Each structure stands twice: as C-alpha cells, then as structure tokens.
Amino acid sequence: MLNVTINTKKIQVPEGSTILQAARQMGVSVPTLCNMEKREAIGACRVCLVEVEGARTLAAACSTPVTENMVVRTNSTLARAARRQVVEMLLSEHDGNCPTCGRSTDCELRALAEEMGVSHLPFEGIKAKAHIDSSTPALVRDNAKCIKCRRCVTVCGEVQGVGALFPQGRGFQTVIGPAFTRDLEGVACVQCGQCAAVCPVGAIVEKSQIAEVWKALDNPKLHVVVQTAPAIRAALGEAFGYEPGTRVTGQMVAALRRLGFDGVFDTNFTADLTIMEEGTELLTRLKKALVDKEPVALPMFTSCSPGWINFAEFYFPQFLPNISTCKSPQQMFGAVAKTYYADKIGRKPEEVVVVSVMPCTAKKFEAQRPEMATNGVPDVDYVLTTRELAKMIKEAGIDFKSLPDEEMDAPLGLSSGAADIFANTGGVMEAALRTAYEIVTGRELPVDNLHVQAISGLEGIKEAALTITGTKKEWSFLEGVELKVAVSHGLANTRRLLEYIRAHGATYHFVEVMTCPGGCIGGGGQPRFTDDSVRLKRIAGIYREDESKKMRKSHENPDVKKLYADFLGKPLGAKSHHLLHTHYHHKEK
Amino acid sequence: MNAPVIKRISSVAKLGDLRERLRAQKPAGGGSGTRQILVCFGGSCLASGAKEVRDALRLALEAEKLGDQVALVETGCMGPCVLGPVVMVGEDRTFYQGVKPGDASDIVKQHICGGKRVERLLVYDAAGKTPAPCREDIEFFKRQTQIVLRNCGWIDPERIGDAIARDGYAGLAKVLTECTPEAVIAEMKASGLRGRGGAGFPTWLKWHLARESADTVHYVLCNADEGDPGAYMDRSVLEGDPHSVIEGMAIAAFAIGAQQGYVYVRAEYPLAVERLSTAIAQARACGLLGANILGTQFSFDLEIRMGSGAFVCGEETALIASIEGKRGEPRPRPPFPAQKGLWGKPTVLNNVETYANVPAILQKGGSWYASMGTPKSKGTKVFALAGAVRNTGLVEVPVGTSLGELVYDIGGGIRNNRHFKAAQIGGPSGGCIPREHLNVPLDYETLADLGAIMGSGGLIVMDEDTCMVDVARFFIEFVQEESCGKCVPCRVGTRRMLEILNRICEGQGEMADIDRLIQLGHFIKTASLCGLGQTAPNPVLSTIRHFRNEYEEHIRDRHCRAGVCAGLVRAPCLSACPVGVNVPGFVSLVGEKRYAEALRLHRERNPFASVCARVCFHTCEDKCRRASLDEPVSIRGVKRFMVDQEVTVQVPEVRENAANAKRKVAIIGAGPAGLSCAYFLARLGYQPDVFEAEPRPGGMLVQAIPAYRLPREELAREVRMIEHLGVTVETGCALGRDFTLTSLREKGYESVFLAVGAPLGVALDVPGANAHGVTEAMSFLRQYNIRGSVPVGKHVAVIGGGNAAIDAARTAIRLGAQSVTVLYRRTREEMPAYAEEIEEALQEGVTLRTLVHPESFEVEGGRVTGIKCRAMKLGEFDRSGRRRPEGAEDAACEVLPADQVIVAIGQALDEKALAGAVEVERTSRGWVKADPRTGATSAPWLFAGGDVVAGPSSVADAIAAGERTAVAIDAMLTGAEHAFWRGYSDPGVAFDTSADPVAYSREKLPAMPLERRRQNFAEVEQPWNESTAVRQAKRCLRCDYGKQPCDCGQA
C-alpha cells in the first residue's frame, strides 16, 4: 500500500494505482475524456491534469502512478485552469455546430465545458478540416467534430481487434480515420459501431434512417411493421431517464404503436425460429460427423451478429463454412413478414415495409446485403438503432414515461424467454441448449433455473461442456457425447478464440460469437454511455425478462409451431432453406 | 573498399597486438608518416566537391608516381564546414581549405614533392593577413577539446583498422577483462557524464536503473534521430567515427546485461547509415560484435533501424514505438524505458554523442573526464555552429565554455562585420540567448535559467538581420507540424501560438497577443504529454523574454526592425530608415532623371535631404537586398547626386490652415529634431517659433559636425526652406537664461517641444584632468564651428572612439596639429564611430591607438604634457555584447606625450538650462522621459525628442523624433491625426519585372585628394557625374514593387 495525499486528505492505495484511481477511491472526481475502462491510459486528452507537488509539469491523473507520499492537488487554481484550457483548446478545434449536432444533449465535450466553466474561447483559430465519410450503410464520420481522443481507435483496435481507425498525419493536421485517409468503405471495417458508442462527441454516429421511416409511416399505401430486437427493451428506457436494465417492453410497444406502425412485432419471434433452424442445423451437422462420418465443418458458429459475419469474411474466411447458414433473426423476420405475414393480411411483399429497431449499426449493413433479399425484395427495409428510436419518440412528442404497457401484435409478436436472452453474451447458446437438449433427451436442460452459468457474464471467452445421456432413440448417436461449447464477445476475444481453434482443431461443437462486448445489450447502437456496470445491469434486466415468462424455450412457442405447420413445413425444409438460410463469402481487405 | 581484410580477433591480447601492428604500419594505406593526405569526406565537404578533390589528388599522386607511397585517406568531418572541401597534409597537419580539384597538382608537386606549403590554400586570420598553416595554429581548433570528435577527421570511417590503431575498442577490451558491470557503472558515475541528447540525465543512473530492472532481456538503443534544424553533431560522428558509437553501446550492453542493440537513424542520413552499416559489418567480422566478443563470455549484436523523419521520434518512448513498428508517438512516462522499454523490456537509450564519450571514459577513467567541465556538468559538448558566424562547423569544447568564446574565438565572430544579436541554442526546444549573456557558461543549469536548453548542441548564431519574432514563428511552425498530434496542448496550442505569431508578423497583432503567447506557452509547457510539447513554446517565451521590444514594435509600430517580416516591410531599406523615406521611390526617380520629383518624395518624410546626403549613417544600405547579389545600392551616393541637382528648393505639399496658424507652438532647440518638428507642423499650417541658444541654427549639425563633412551652406539652405514655410527661428535665445518653460506658457504657447539635445561633453575623472590643454570634444568642436577658431596643440591626443572623437581628430589635423592620436580602450572593431570616418581619419594622418586606457595626465606647470596609458586586453563580454577592456595590474604603462588632450567619451544634458519651475520626469539614465512614439512627457503640453530623450544618436533618429512629435502635437491640439505624408506614395516609375538586375557594381563616391584636405575644411566627398548616378540608381532591385500600400512607415 502507498500513502498519498489528495487535496489535503491522506489515504492508502494499492501499489500500481494511478492518481485517478486513488482520487476515485476517496470520492474525488477528476474529469476524463480519452481514458477508457480496463484499457491502458494513453494520456492524450489532458483533461485529467492535476498538480503533483514537486513535479515539473502537471500530471495526467489517468496515466500517472501514485508514488509513496505523493501529494496531489486536483483542485488547485493551476490544475483547474489547465483543465479548462484543455477544453478551450478542444472547443477551438472542434466545429462547434452544437445545435445541429445529434449529440447536442449528450455530448461529453459540452458537458466538460460546462463543468469547467468555459465561458468563451480566448484562443480561436482554424478548425479541424472537415471531411464527412458516409461511405458505409452503418456509420457516418465527421472529422470536423473529431477531438482525437482516440477512444474509437482504442475500441476498434484493442476491444474489437479490427484496427480500422488510426491517427494519421501530424500536428494540427492529425486525423483519426481509416488507413491512407480512405473512407471506411475502403477498409476492413466490420461496421459494429463500437466507435460510435464510445465517441464522446458527434464525430462518429450511425447513418440515420429516421427520415425514411417517417416517410414510410406517412405513406398510406404502405403497411409498415416494426420488429424490435431483444436488447432494446432493457436499454431504451435509458434515453428517457430510466436506470440501465429497466425493462420497458410494454411502454416500447405502446410508443411504437403511437408512432403509427401498422404492426408492432418482435425480433424475438424469429429468435425462437432461429433456435429451431440453427438447433436443427447443429444436430444435423453432428449426425453427419458422428454417424455418417462425412466431412462437416465443426464447430458450428452462430450467425446472428452481422459484425461477426463481416469479421469472418474479412479476417477468417477459412471459418465461413463453420458459420450457421441461418440468416440472423432480423433477416428471418423480414423474410417471414414479407411472405407469410403479407400473405395473411393480403398484401404484396412490396407493400409491406419492415422496420427494425436494433442495438446495432452493423444491422444497417446487413439489411442491405444482396444475400438478404427474397425475389429481389429486401427482407428488411430500414434499420433504426435504439438511439434513433428514442429520437423518433421524442420528436413525436410522446411522453414515454407515462405510457401504459401494451402487448405485441400477433402473429409475429409472441416469443419465449429463450429469445429474450439472445441479447446477452451466452444467451443464444443457452437458448439453443435449452431446446436442443430437450429435443435430444426429451428432458429439460438440467441446470438451475435454465441458466448455464458458465457461459454468462462478462468474461471474454467462456466455455461449457455437457455430457448427453438418456437420449431419445433417434438421437442415440449422441448418447454419452460430451457437448462442448464456447462463447466469445468482443471481436478481439473472438480473434483469440479463433486462433486457438485454428491451432487446436475442432475442440468445440458449437460456438456463439457476439461482436460487441456483453453481446447485443452492449451494441454500437445502444444509448450512450455503455460501460461494464451498464452492461451488467442490462444483462440482468434481460434475464429478468426471461425469467418473468412462462414460456422459456423456443420450441414451445406456439406461433412458431404454427408458422411451421402453416407455412414453412419443418426446420431446414425447402421453404426454410429458401427464405431463412444463406451463405457468406471471403471479402478482400 | 580496399581495406585489408581483418580476421576475427579472438582475444584482448590479440587486439593489442593488432593495434601495435597497425600503428607500426601507420598510416593506413601504407604511406610513411609525412606522406599522408587526409581528405574530409564529411557531408558538407562532400557537398562542396570533396570527391572530385580526392580523385584529382589521386591522379596527381599517380602522375608523380607516388600512388603507393602517399596514403590518401577519406575521413569523416574535420569540423570547419564553411571552409570545405578541406584537406590535411603530412605529419605537421598542414590544413588546406577551399580546395578545388585544380589545386591537387600544386598540393602534390609543391608540398608533397617540394616540401613547400601552398600558401594560397591556407587558413588566414580574420584580417586575412597572417596564415595559420597547421591545424594547431588555427583559432578554430586551438580552443577545442576533442573527446567525442577524437577520431573524426583522423580516420577512414570505413576501415576498422584505422579506428583500432587509434585505440578503438580498447575501452571495451579493458571492460571485458578488468571490470564487472557494476564497476563500469561506477566509472560512468565518476565521470559525471550526462545524456547529450539534451535533457542531461546522468548516464550512469540510467544504466543503473536498467540494470536493476529485473528481467532476463535488456536492450541498448542509440538515438540517432537528430532532427533539430541546423544540428548535425550525431550525423558527423556516425559518418566520421562509427566505431566509437558501436564500442560505447557494447560497453553499455555489458553494463546492463543486454545482448542486442539498435541504432535508430533518420533515413535522411544515408551516408551515416552506410558508414555505420559498414562499421557494424566489420566489427562483426572482427569478433567485436556478435557472440563471445574478443573470446569472452560477452555477446552483443547491433542492428540499424531507420526512422522516417518524424521529429518526435527523437523522444525516447516515440522512438521505441517506432522501432516496434508502431506509429512513432510518445506514451506517458513512467514507466521509463529503463523499467519498461523496447518490447516491454528494460532498455537503455542514449544518443550518439553520449555513447561516443563512453570508450574514452572507460579507457582513461571517470576522474579524467570529470576534470573537464563545470561542477555540475562534466566533460565536453559538441556544438554545430551555424548561422551568421564566420566559422560554421562542428566544434567540441569543455562544458561551461562561454557563448562568447564559442561565437568569437572559435566561430571567428559574425560574418560581414555584422553584430551578434542572439544565439538559438537547443533547436526548437531551446531558446534564444541575447548578447547581454555572451558571457554565460554553456551548461545545463545556466541555459535553463535563461529559458534555453543545452539540447543536442545545435547553435544558430543570429545577427541584426534576424527578426526575433520571425525566429519564434519559424520554430513554432516547425514544432506544430512535427507534433505527433496526440495530446491537446501540443496539437492545438502550438497551432494557436503559430496563428498569433503569424498575425503579429503580418501586422495584425494586438498588444494583448504578447501576454496571450506567454499564457499559452506556459500552459503548453506544463500540460503536454512529452518533452516535445513541454519545450515547444521555449523559442517564443525566450524571445519574448529577451526581445519583447521587437514584438511591441511589430504590433504597435507595424515595424520589423530586421526587415524580415514581409507583411510589415514594403522594402527593407525603407523599413530600416528611421524616418521612413521612400528609398526605392527616390532612387528610381533619380534613375529616370526626375530629380525634382525625387527630392519632393524624399522631403515628404525628411526635410534634410541635402544634410542626410552627407551625414546620414544610411541604415538603409545595411538592409539592401542587392547585397545578396553583390553589394548594396549606394543610396546615400544617389541621394548626394540628387540634392546637387536642386535648382529651386523642392518642398512637398503644404496645407495652409488658418486655425492652426493662430495656435502658438514653441520649439526649443534648432537641431534636426526641433527643425523637423517645425517643418512638419508648418506643413499642417502651424507657424511655430523655434528658440536656439547658439547664434546659428542647426544644433549638432552645425556645432559638432565639421564643414568638411557638411558644408554650412547646404545646411543653411534647408534651414531657410523651413523658415520659408512660416517657421520663426530665434537664435541666441537660451532656455534657462533668456526664458523658461513657465515663461513660454505664460506667453500663451499651447505646446512646447523640448529638443535641446545633449550638448555638453563629459569630463574624464583622472588625475590632471584640470590641467591646461585638457578639453573636451564638444566644446572644442563647438568653439571652432561657431566662433571660427580654437586653440590646437602640436601633439594632440583624442580620447574616445565615437564620432565626436574622430571629428575632433580630423578637425585638429586640419587646424595644423603635427600629430593627432586617437586613444581607445577597446579595439577598432568595437569603435562606435562610423567605419568610413575612421578610415578617412587614418588616411588623413590620424594615428589610432587601441586597447589603451588613460590612467592620468602628466602635468608640468599646470599644462598637460602627456598621458599615462595602461595597456588593456579584452576580457569577458559586457551587456552590450562587446568584450570588456581590462587592464591587468602588471600591464605595461607608457606615457604618450601630448600638449593637448581632447576628451570625447560622451555627451550630457545641460542641467542648468533644464532647471526651472516645470518638473520634467527623467529616465534612470538621466535623460528626459518621453514616449518614444509621440514625444509626450509627464506634462500634457510638453513634448521632448532627439538627443535630450534618447542620448546621443543619429541625425535620422532626431528627424524621425521631430516628425513624430509634430504629429503628436497636432493631435493634442486638434484631437485628430493629420499626417497626410505618411500614406503610401507611388513613385510612378517604370519597372520591368522580367528584366535581370543590371550588372553594374557599386561605386564609391569620389573624395578630394588627401594632399588637398589639410589646412582646409572643404568638403571631402565629391558627387558622381550624372551617368554614374543614374547607373547606380538602376542597381535598385525595387523590392517595393507590387507591394500593397501599407502604412508601415515608422510612425
């Protein structure tokens, strides 16, 4: 332990603590900007400058380790003035068009300016050079707003292991962006949007489709339906002042209805459908491998997360055959809505508009993939992020907090608890196990409260093994097999896992990959700001949603059963194959 | 490369044997001792043709059949880069400079074969008279102590044998056999060596910390990413003696337990990379790198990593990131590289110069090294002398050597007889040291106190042609481009500083900008992430600290005194003229023979065209850009011709103004300041009264300046012109005697301009000063010039070095003195008198004795008979940047016989005249305190200007003060400024922008033959004829052409 004095108060902190950690330990707040949870401090932004007795310069609290008997003043005139001046400098470089910026109400720079008492800019001069990169369907980058804090660089490079964003150039000409000052389209960006999630200002945001959705809603000739991803319900409330993890499913449904959607449905419905298809696919692969001894790609990977698909296409094409051929729940929903549902309500597919509300920016990309269309009609027309939906609700003047709870519409609105947990890392796997185990053995998955603890939580790579006994006759080839599964979230973890598998062969049967840390609840389109404590609250909220339902297994969903009975036939059947499955291809970087 | 193949050296003993063998067959290449030619192959000499010289020498040797008897060695940098290509011949080290291929046969035939030096290629002293034939005779080398550069210029860097013969790897051998790592570090501690990269961290401590860091792998890195503008110490060492660096790194590796090292060199140093690569390969082949060095257990190898030229990669963490293949930018420290460096391993990182010291320290011992330098900074430091100094090049001196010694003794002073203004030390992280501090010892602490840093050793010397604001702007532009852009204070802050400086240099600055720069500078220094940002504002802060007045001039007066800032300088001559005369205008009008217009244009700003054509010190010519082609335009010569063409007096616009004419303005003193003020007031319609104490108007122009320089009629004509504008000049009317300031006020004068000058001489306070025959220059000159006669002795001594001394001397010569001796306590270079006046005086027979100080006057019977003088020598630099004369106690005294002594050591106010009811505020030096821009004093109605405010200064300065005060008086009386003459005046002359400059060279004004000058006061200088004058006028390059009109005249 080290002794340190902060603002005349003495405390003891563990060796290796930074000044920032010491200050926080004693409840002294020091502002930060570039600093990121669990990442090595880079000391770039300097808004955490504090005075250290005897030091030649001010110290960045985030990156300066405490030494024995260090005396720190976070609040001296010098430190306060320097911190203010740093923010003044940032503002002088920043384009400053706050009123028209999408981040005007939750901009960290604005908040810092207010906190530090910036009243005017004593040093004005040229601004950062503007360049708007809207080359991808998912993201828009605006260099004029970028303050070079490099959170996006850190998250892209270290958390996601993608490294599409770098500092380039020198001095005032420094820009953050893809290599060789290309646009994102020109590099191997997976469009996960984690950069947009961590950006403190409006420099990286999702490409908005709000206007298109309003236009569709305003068109009386169109039948506009909406699907909401599992992760929305535990996060949307944050945009209206609720605690993270607060479940607002019913109010969300009410709000969507008030926005004018003709059908308010649930991606959860197709999450249940996915379990049916993907579970069957897994069992089929296992049969091929164990019984038919055919060469078959194992482990099988989940395919729900479009950022992961992009990642595999760019970086790990050798694993593409391992990825489940199932479309993601979003795309399955669109395909079903424009066929089964359209037919039901007597509309042509072209007259049905499918709007998704997703926690994700990569979903915007996914929706416009050529693979994701049926007979030339895209499965999904527009994708909104959670944040965009919140904006629409506000724009429409809906008082969200006073809304009553309402129910989703039939027939695409009913879902199981297993579908809810698709939002969490480990959730798809757990949902699949609930169903697959029961199909194979006829018994419920023998774990406490149906939760597979080993694969839940924020550990980067998780694994579980389950020995299957007492199989039904038709699944007897699985008798005694130890089913091994792994779960990764965050693409840097995924990269590690894939490299392990590449080195050690098919050590697992089934692997769930989610692009974003924590799974979809930590997606790039979720309300800001997301850190681990927020992730854990959302995860808990989702589990509560699951547990609150009577129906907690996908194969129990009666409407899914009906869908098979009336329309699809059976999992992996011809119709399913046509509508619900696809293939992916290697993309050159 | 024809180096003999050297086999692997398997033991320390064998290294010793080899060294002895190599020494015996010295020099390398096989020639005998006297028969060796060293050709400098340093970067600078190569650029000026060293290769061609080497080829020519080889051919010349072969022609004399000496090809295998005389060794031709290509060495690294010898040091004096300005003299290149340089060649050193024979055992006595005859040093040849500026050698051309055509000189090769002379060197071979005359020197090698004939044993006779080639005189014309030798280095000469500053006066160009005495040769310094050998290296040891040359001032540049004499004062150096070369440790780092011990082998540079002596060995062929591409032949390891040369290095071994000069004790290369002896230090390593000693370490490997005799020392423990701890002992090596202890020796380094004893040496007191501090990191030569700039920050000066104790080298031993860095090694110690790295050694203490528990890890199995350690690294040794060498920082050769030298990037300061003007610095090339490390490059020269790598190019000239790479083995010392390799050896130093190997020793460091031994001390910290490293097996691998990297040298990080800029890719812009291809020659250094090539020679270092060769050296590494040779060292490896010899077993001096690699496994089991010299047969011991110690293994160490080296690789080169090339940097792509980012300045910030000189910062250690950025350098490490760059080697690791990452973007070269700094990270927060701690952890320091000694704890966590390259690939997370404990790493020692020193620069080239630091490592080059190490072998010598280990070989000769730490205490040997510590015997040089200052108590806190030991050893030597290499500097790259660059800029306005005569001997640019690479020098190595003990730490603590004074800046003045470096600039004057080694550097040979300032080129082109300019004056030292400042030295920029430490590159973009450093600061400027002004001439007040020429005496400071160059060590880490002293420089830091002055706001500079030692840095890596770049030392750029600047003269008066350097604008300090522009210098600051240059460096901040450099760092803001080279900032890695990571941290906000450096990325944005330096940019904002640059913007402010750009504004100031363009004439858009505000006074508050100076404080803004200071505030921003301190913020960037304390808030930035790495050393680059923490030092980036230094050039700005140090120039503000030492040259704040230049910033103020840029902002307040829109004036750049150096004539550099384009936005403030229409033409450098115009900008340099205190009065703001449109120089290119009148010169080019003369070129078109439009003399009347030229005169009127001149008198727009300066009524005394004829006076100034004779006595102006022409600062305009000092700044003339034609000098960069050949010599400055002779502006005063053109002016002299112009004024001689005046038939009817040319007066520019005068605006009659009945209201102004009624207002009473008094001007006290009819010198150039008072009369100019009257002139400009008259052009605004005033009719001021000028009161002059002496019987004739003109002030110093008539009282002090002799008629042979300024014929009286010329002055009288221009005074009459001023009187004709409505000015009344009342002579014989003295302040304090005939009237007082109070009485003027009582008579209804609304404003008074006090321009009484500094008419009194200063007496010399030594024994015998009251003797008969001792006088002072002002009264001597005044008596002759006003009364027409003054007693003159036979043997006259004049004490002093200013213009008054020379005027008195030349007057005495003309009045029949048999001998006139001017005594001055410093040297001729330091004399304040105009150089051309001194030259004329010497031609007329005046004797100049410098470095003498009058101790006392010899007196017999109340009459002076001689002066007892003590010999002086120049000591340390004083605050004026000149060497202070010091009389040693035992210095010889001599008595110079003289029956008249004229003391000319200064001028003073006439206190009696000033004494009166009105209390006038004074400066600390006794002059009247007045605003230099307006002449305003502490009393609202009273203005002052000229010598009474500034002390003795030039005619042009006095005229400028008069003009400024006229504008200020008018503004005070009317509440507005009406200086219509200050705007831009287009001369309306043709100028062919596509034509080449005319080829005519500068011509002197003809002078009256010497034999006709004695005994009379006829004007010495004669005008040109018309064709010469027109030709000379056409030499003007018209720097003003196309420049936007700006009101940047000195107002």
Q: Provide the shortest C-alpha distance from residue A78 to chain B (in Å).
A: 9
pLDDT at B1046 over 60: no
The residue of chain B nearest to residue A62, with distances taken between CA atoms, is B332
Closest chain A C-alpha to B338 CA, distance in angstroms: 16
Q: Distance between CA atoms of B488 and A84, rounded to whole angstroms?
A: 12
| Beta carbons of B523 and A82 less than 8 Å apart | yes
| Residue B923 CB neighbours (<10 A) | 12
User: Distance from CA of residue B330 to its chain's centroid?
Assistant: 35
Query: How close B349 gets to chain A, by Cα (Å)?
Result: 22
B776-824 pLDDT, tens per residue?
A: 999 999 999 998 899 999 999 999 999 999 999 999 999 999 999 999 9
The count of C-alpha atoms lying within 13 angstroms of the C-alpha of B107, restricted to the half-sphere facing its C-beta, is 33
CB-CB neighbors (< 8 A) of B527 in chain A: 46, 49, 57-58, 82, 85-86
Which candidate in B329, B482, B488 is best for mutational testing of the A interface (most A CBs within 10 A)? B488
> Residue B790: helix, strand or coil by DSSP?
coil
E-only strand ranges, A39-137: 49-52, 59-60, 70-73, 132-133
Return the closest-CA partner of residue B740 out of B754, B759, B761, B750: B754
Phi, psi of B106, rounded to the nearest 5 degrees? -65, -45
A46 neighbourhood in chain B, CB within 8 Å:
487-489, 527-529
pLDDT at A10 over 50: yes
Closest to B245 measured CA to CA, from B253, A337, A171:
B253
Q: Phi-psi category of A450—alpha, beta or left, where left has phi over 0 and alpha has psi -120 to 50? A: left
Higher confidence at residue B355 or residue A410? B355
* B700 pLDDT higher than 90: yes
- pLDDT of B309 reads 80
Distance from CA of B481 to the nearest CA of A (A): 5
Give the closest of B312, B499, B527 to A125, CB-based.
B499
Of A45, A78, A125, Cβ closest to residue B488: A45
Taking residues A428-439, what's their average pLDDT? 96
CA distance A123 to chain B (A): 7
Give dist(CA A135, CA A130) in Å, integer.
Answer: 15
Our CA angle for B531, B534, B537, nearest 5°, is 125
B496:A89 CB<8 A: yes
Which DSSP symbol is given to B414? B
> Does the CA dihedral B365-B369-B371-B376 come out positive or negative?
negative
> First vs last Cα of chain A: how many Å apart?
49
State pLDDT tens for residues A177-207: 999 889 999 999 999 999 999 999 999 999 9
Q: Is B713 exposed, middle or buried (0-12, 13-18, 19+ CB in 10 A)?
A: exposed
Window from B61-75, B471-485, B696-710 with minimum mean pLDDT? B61-75
- CB within 8 Å: B487 and A44: yes
In this complex, do B489 and A169 lie within 8 Å of one another by their Cβ atoms?
no
Q: Does the distance separating the beta carbons of B494 and A86 come in below 8 Å?
A: no
The DSSP H or E segment spanning B781 is helix B777-782
A459 Cα to chain B: minimum distance (Å):
26
Q: How many angstroms away from the CA of B330 is the closest CA of chain A?
A: 9
Cβ contact (<8 Å) for A170 and B310? yes
Instruction: Give this prediction's pTM.
Output: 0.91
Strand (E) or helix (H) holding B547: helix B538-552
Q: pLDDT tens, A121-165?
A: 999 999 999 999 999 999 999 999 999 999 999 999 999 999 999
Put simply, the answer to whether B331 touches A60 (Cβ < 8 Å) is no
Which residues on B lie below 8 Å from A58 (Cβ)?
Answer: 526-527
Contacts from B946-950 at CB under 8 Å and sequence distance 24+? B946/B669, B946/B671, B946/B672, B946/B673, B946/B674, B946/B699, B946/B755, B946/B757, B947/B671, B947/B673, B947/B700, B947/B757, B947/B758, B947/B907, B948/B669, B948/B754, B948/B755, B948/B756, B948/B757, B948/B758, B948/B909
Phi-psi region of B881 (alpha: psi -120 to 50; beta: other; left: phi over 0): left
Average of per-residue pLDDT values in chain A: 95
Angle, helix B170-178 to helix B242-256, in steps of 10 degrees: 20
Q: Do B523 and A172 touch (CB under 8 A)?
A: no
* B-chain residues near A44 (CB < 8 A): 486-488, 529
The DSSP annotation for A114-156 comes to: HHTT--S-SS--PPPPP-EE--SSSEEEETTT-----HHHHII
Among chain B residues, CA nearest to A170: B484
Residues of B with CB under 8 A from a CB of A: 310, 312, 327, 329, 331-332, 334, 480-489, 491-496, 499-500, 516, 520, 523, 525-529, 534
- Pick from A46, A64, A169: CB nearest B489: A46
Nearest-neighbour CA in chain A from B520: distance (Å): 9
Q: Who among A58, A126, A167 is closest to B527 (CB)?
A: A58
Cβ atoms A30, A61 nearer than 8 A:
yes
Chain B partners within 8 Å of A169 (Cβ): 485
Nearest residue of chain B to residue A57 (CA atoms) = B526
Tell me the chain A residues in contact with residue B480 when contact means C-beta distances shorter than 8 Å.
Answer: 171-172
* Cβ contact A57–B489 (<8 Å): no
Chain A residues within 8 angstroms (CB to CB) of chain B:
41-47, 49, 56-58, 60, 63-65, 78, 81-82, 85-86, 89-90, 92-93, 122-123, 125-126, 147-148, 150, 166-167, 169-174
Residue B535, Cβ neighbours under 10 Å: how many?
Answer: 25
User: Which residues of chain B lie closer than 8 angstroms to A89, CB-CB?
Assistant: 488-489, 492-493, 496
The mean per-residue pLDDT over the stretch B193-215 comes to 93
Contacts of residue B366, Cβ cutoff 8 Å, sequence gap at least 6: B186, B187, B188, B189, B190, B191, B192
Mutate to test the interface with B, among A19, A53, A85, A158 (most CBs of B within 10 A): A85
Nearest to B527 among A46, A169, A172 (CB): A46
- Structure confidence at residue B1 (pLDDT): 39
Count CA within 13 A, CB hemisphere, residue B186.
6
pLDDT tens-digit readout, A248-303:
999 999 999 999 999 999 999 999 999 999 999 999 999 999 999 999 999 999 99
Instruction: Identify all chain A residues contacting B482, using CB atoms and an 8 Å cutoff.
Output: 170-171
CA distances from B596 to A199, B396, B433, B648, B717 (A): 72, 59, 48, 9, 16
For range B532-553, the mean pLDDT: 96
Question: Of A136, A112, A158, A157, whose CA–CA distance to A204 is shortest?
Answer: A136
Q: Complex ipTM, two decimals?
A: 0.94
Average pLDDT rounded to a whole number, residues A50-76 = 96
At B917, is the pLDDT very low, low, confident or very high (cuts 50, 70, 90)? low
Using the beta-carbon criterion (under 8 Å), do B526 and A173 form an inter-chain contact? Answer: no
Q: Which of B344, B335, B357 is nearest to B222 (CA)?
A: B357
Distance CA A364, CA A368 (A): 7
> What DSSP state is assigned to residue B409?
I
Query: Confidence class of residue B90 from pLDDT cuts 50, 70 and 90?
Result: confident
A529 prior amide bond cis, ω within 30: yes
Positions of A annotated as catalytic residues are 278, 281, 304, 324, 363, 366, 371, 520
Strand ranges for B643-735 from DSSP E: 665-668, 689-691, 728-730
In tens, the pLDDT along B859-887 reads 999 999 999 999 998 888 888 888 888 88
Interface test with B, best of A170, A174, A176 (most B CBs within 10 A): A170
CB-based contact A85 B312, cutoff 8 Å: no
Find the CB nearest B480 among A43, A122, A172: A172
Q: Which of A127, A172, A180 would you mutate first to test chain B, the one with the most B CBs within 10 A? A: A172
* Pairs of residues, one from chain A and one from chain B, whose beta carbons lie less than 8 Å apart: 111
Using CB atoms, which residue from A47, A82, A173 is nearest to B526? A82
Residue B319 distance to chain A (closest CA, Å) = 15
| Whether the predicted pLDDT of B516 surpasses 90 | yes
Place of tokens 């409006």: A202
Rounded to whole angstroms, the Cα distance separating A394 from A132 reads: 26
Percent of chain A at pLDDT > 70 equals: 100
Token readout for A72 is: 């720190």
User: Which of B312, B484, B487, B522 would best serve as a mutation to test chain A binding (most A beta carbons within 10 A)?
Assistant: B487
pLDDT-derived band at B454 (thresholds 50, 70, 90) equals: confident
